[in-house]
Amino acid sequence: MTTSGFPQGAARAAVTLLLITTLEPSPASHRLGSVLNIAPMVINGASGVVPFGDANPITKYLVLHFSSSTLEGSDQLVVTLGYDTDVFDASSGTEFWTRPVNGAATTITYVDDGDGIGSVTLNLYGRGEESDVFLLSTPYMNPEVLFDHAVCPVNSAPSWQNVRCLDPSIPAEMTMSNVARATGMILMVGPPRRSRVVSSSRAVRPR
């Protein structure tokens, strides 16, 4: 399992949730998008800046998968995320996922150390289709409720309210406000040979 999180304040997730990226052998309880195969793209030091994107209007973010990596020496693979940059090197292994890209397009650059040996292959990617974690839509659209058991009482319609409306100085709202700040969103992408979806579940971190 590999995990990574957003730098503090660099990007906001819906309802002030922290977004964490992890690799799991099977999807979580909430489907967020698709994992799509592409014709393998070999990227090396001669490739220059490689643009990549998904023109489908439902695309909210991308998670790229690289395989057959032969990064060596001081080679680096640089992927722009929109709020930060992912940098991979020889210690990253032979395959890896990026963190989510804010939006539907990114650029990929292989920085060679001068010997012209290494390369990586972009062979599939996750496309975020549900849950507007980067707050791209105006106005913001609440995500679809996929499972009735996530709403109390069961089968009732959800009542949405931004957690920023809670006042921690009011005893009745203090607990909800504290829990909101300790709640995160886990974004999961299954390995190529198993799950073909981007999915999510909730997590609460100790304070």
Q: Is residue 207 part of a domain?
A: no
| Separation between Cα atoms, residue 10 and residue 140, nearest integer Å | 19
8 A C-beta contact, residue 78 and residue 31 = no
Q: Is residue 167 part of a domain?
A: no
The pLDDT value given to residue 193: 47
The pLDDT value given to residue 144: 63
The pLDDT value given to residue 137: 79
Q: Is residue 146 part of a domain?
A: no
- Judged against a pLDDT cut of 50, whether residue 65 lies above it is answered with yes
- Report how far Cα 65 is from the mean position of its chain's Cα atoms: 12
HEC per residue, 39-71:
EEEEEECCCCEEEEECCCCCCCEEEEEEECCCC
Q: Is residue 100 part of a domain?
A: yes
Q: Is residue 171 part of a domain?
A: no
The pLDDT value given to residue 150: 60
H-state helical runs in 49-132: none
**Torsion, CA 92, CA 83, CA 33, CA 38, rounded to 10:** -50
> Residue 114 belongs to what domain range?
3-138+182-192
Residue 115 half-sphere exposure, CB side, CA atoms within 13 Å? 10
Least confident of 82-96, 104-118, 150-164: 150-164
Average pLDDT over residues 95-111: 95
Per-residue pLDDT tens for 15-54?
A: 333 344 444 444 456 778 889 999 999 999 999 999 999 9
Q: Is residue 173 part of a domain?
A: no
Instruction: Identify the CATH number of the domain in which residue 23 sits.
Output: 2.60.120.340
Domains identified in the chain, total number = 1
The answer to pTM > 0.85 is no
The pLDDT value given to residue 43: 98
The pLDDT value given to residue 125: 95
